[in-house]
Chain A
Amino acid sequence: MADEPLLRVEDLQKSFGGVAAVDGVSMEVERGEVHAVIGPNGAGKTTLISLLAGELRPDRGRMLFGGRDIARRPAHARARLGFARSFQITSVVPGMRVLDNVMLAVLARDGRSFRFWRPARNDPALIGPAEAALERVGLAGVAGERAGAVSHGEHRQLELAMTLAAEPELLLLDEPMAGMSADESRRMTGILEGLKGEKTMLLVEHDMDVVFALADRISVLVGGRIAASGAPEAVRADEAVRRAYLGDEAA
């Protein structure tokens, strides 16, 4: 069991009306590694994350988490096993405060949500970890704002704070820097670097600087298939990858 990877995917397949978005993907994510998935627009990266998170049902294939088959478990059950995903397009509860959103993540982790009487919003068991997560991503200053009212960059940070507050074993991060300014993106990269070694991450990202700064392993997804997979240097050097995806960016 010791050398069983945290996540193993075998021959995963998902089509939308005849178009295969994920087409026979097999991959592994080792405990503690940052495994980046890169690929052009429409390559199936988000679909892959949604399959792993349990939001979409695969047409075929196996998904093993710590050796356990999870293919039939719904999203909420996988979250409780230790998955946490962030969304490419920000997905928070807009009407609640920033702090409330993170408190919900803490509550999900804590599990004791059938409590009807004591006020949750001054429950130290929820506030403490939530504030710590906000501090970590640099959002403590807007904790009291409505989540729907903060800036785009802050939304992205909130996404990450919620993902962290859930204290997952495996983070599924779908373009955490999407739409961020260079500054915000640098800061986010720093945060993720700080998590390296502590958390296992499957990171989907377009920004090659970020990917090469963080990843222990890179898989290249093209047209729903893994075109190459390996150490960053090997992938950078791979001729097929350069032609298919990296293009002049890597030149």
Chain B
Amino acid sequence: MNRTVGWLLLAALAAGPPLALAAGQPFYVDILTRLVCLAAAATSLNLILGHGGMISFGHAAYIGIGAYAVGIPAYYEIYDGWLHILLAVAFSALFALATGAIALRTRGVYFIMITMAFAQMVFFAVVSIEEYGGDDGLVIDIRSEFPLIDLEDGLTLYYACFAVLLGTLYLVHRVARSRFGMVIEGAKGNERRMAALGFAFYRHRLAAYTLAGALCGLSGAMLGNFTNFISPEMMDWTRSGELIFMVVLGGTGALFGPLMGAAAFLLLEELLSGWTIYWQLPFGLLLILVVLFARGGLAGLLEGRRG
């Protein structure tokens, strides 16, 4: 059931934008582009949070790193898309590797706090660099350039982001089911037993953390291209919270959970922000309800499971 809904969502995302354009509603293409980028980011978070039980509260840092990996070269009039992607993935992976090596030595709330602290360090580092706009952010005047495809075209950009989402979904799906995925899932369930079996799972966790960071960096690069304007605000801790919200709302560890969560998030944001300026309050309540009554999130509800 939840797989079916997931596939239907993907089909709608594949077919939706041209229809929106044909109906004279380009606005929806924008919304869907943002959705697809955030869903990819949330899916990468699901690898460590859902499958590995690592509650990173700093995942938006990688969105920021990915976006600035496009913005800073563009500031110097370097528009090569492959270079942007290489920088986004490499810097995200490096940052994840370095900070994960420390954070993964802690557990529980300490892990949450330390991942958040590392992300805030990036946030303030970027704020302090006047050259790149500091607080005010940076405008990307020309999007990443690739041979054959032109991201200046809204529909092309959309499908590029969609391809990143599909790739991220497929990769997380494969990794989660592999031997490696079994180890991080086992360590999430029972560290003591895994150690007694002979797993030095710290290394597996660090590898998963690095992979998730790198993947999220890629979606950040796409998001940066889409918004044309990047600022430290993209990696604020509340953004990390939103990614967690999407994963938990959608269903941790379910393949399409983060996609459903991201869709529900953007929908709610759209509806509620038109209704009240305190639109985050109902979000909080909703999250509490999900955690209390529907641990499997939307994907779990579709499976008829309350967990």
In the complex, the answer to whether A93 meets B189 with C-beta atoms within 8 Å is: yes
A53 to B181, CA, bound (A): 25
Closest to B193 in A: A91
Shortest Cβ distance from residue A167 to the other chain B in the assembled complex, whole angstroms = 11
Instruction: Tell which of A23-31, A76-84, A180-188 binds the partner.
Output: A76-84
Overall SS of chain B's interface: helix
* Residue B192 is within 8 A (CB to CB) of chain A in the complex: yes
In the complex, the answer to whether A114 meets B197 with C-beta atoms within 8 Å is: no
In the complex, the answer to whether B174 meets A92 with C-beta atoms within 8 Å is: no
Most buried by B among A75, A100, A121, A123: A75
In the complex, the answer to whether A80 meets B198 with C-beta atoms within 8 Å is: yes
A108-B198, A108-B199 as given contacts; A116 in contact with B193, CB under 8 Å: no
A123 to B200, CA, bound (A): 22
Closest to B307 in A: A95
In the complex, the answer to whether A104 meets B192 with C-beta atoms within 8 Å is: no
Most buried by A among B174, B179, B188, B207: B179
Using Cβ atoms and an 8 Å threshold, which residues of chain A touch B185?
Answer: 93, 95-96
* Residue A38 is within 8 A (CB to CB) of chain B in the complex: no
* Residue A35 is within 8 A (CB to CB) of chain B in the complex: no
Proximity bits, B185-218, A CB within 8 Å = 1, else 0: 1101110111111111100100100000000000
* Residue A222 is within 8 A (CB to CB) of chain B in the complex: no
Using Cβ atoms and an 8 Å threshold, which residues of chain B touch A100?
Answer: 182, 186
Q: Which of A101-118 contact B (CB under 8 A)?
A: 103-105, 107-109, 112-118
In the complex, the answer to whether B195 meets A107 with C-beta atoms within 8 Å is: no
In the complex, the answer to whether B178 meets A117 with C-beta atoms within 8 Å is: yes
In the complex, the answer to whether B180 meets A53 with C-beta atoms within 8 Å is: no
A49 to B207, CA, bound (A): 32
Interface residues on B, range: 20 to 34
* Residue A18 is within 8 A (CB to CB) of chain B in the complex: no
Interface residues on A, range: 35 or more
In the complex, the answer to whether B175 meets A166 with C-beta atoms within 8 Å is: no
In the complex, the answer to whether B194 meets A104 with C-beta atoms within 8 Å is: yes
* Residue A155 is within 8 A (CB to CB) of chain B in the complex: no
* Residue A94 is within 8 A (CB to CB) of chain B in the complex: yes
A113-B180, A120-B177 as given contacts; A93 in contact with B204, CB under 8 Å: no
* Residue A217 is within 8 A (CB to CB) of chain B in the complex: no
In the complex, the answer to whether B195 meets A75 with C-beta atoms within 8 Å is: yes
In the complex, the answer to whether B186 meets A93 with C-beta atoms within 8 Å is: yes
* Residue A74 is within 8 A (CB to CB) of chain B in the complex: yes
Shortest Cβ distance from residue B306 to the other chain A in the assembled complex, whole angstroms = 15
In the complex, the answer to whether A113 meets B199 with C-beta atoms within 8 Å is: yes
Using Cβ atoms and an 8 Å threshold, which residues of chain B touch A162?
Answer: 193, 197
Question: Looking at the complex, which one of B174, B190, B196, B199 makes contact with A53 (CB distance below 8 Å)?
Answer: B196
In the complex, the answer to whether A55 meets B174 with C-beta atoms within 8 Å is: no
A100-B182, A107-B182 as given contacts; A119 in contact with B196, CB under 8 Å: no
* Residue A14 is within 8 A (CB to CB) of chain B in the complex: no
Using Cβ atoms and an 8 Å threshold, which residues of chain A touch B183?
Answer: 104, 107, 113
Question: Looking at the complex, which one of A92, A121, A126 makes contact with B193 (CB distance below 8 Å)?
Answer: A92
Using Cβ atoms and an 8 Å threshold, which residues of chain A touch B190?
Answer: 91-94
Closest to B211 in A: A116
In the complex, the answer to whether B192 meets A116 with C-beta atoms within 8 Å is: no
* Residue A45 is within 8 A (CB to CB) of chain B in the complex: no
Using Cβ atoms and an 8 Å threshold, which residues of chain B touch A53?
Answer: 196
Shortest Cβ distance from residue B141 to the other chain A in the assembled complex, whole angstroms = 38
Q: Other CB < 8 Å A-B pairs besides A107-B182, A113-B199, 6 of them?
A: A79-B195, A95-B185, A109-B198, A112-B179, A113-B204, A116-B178
Binding site for A on B (CB under 8 A): 174-175, 177-183, 185-186, 188-190, 192-201, 204, 207
A-B contact pairs, 11 of them (CB 8 A): A77-B200, A93-B186, A95-B185, A104-B183, A107-B182, A107-B183, A108-B198, A113-B204, A120-B178, A121-B177, A162-B193
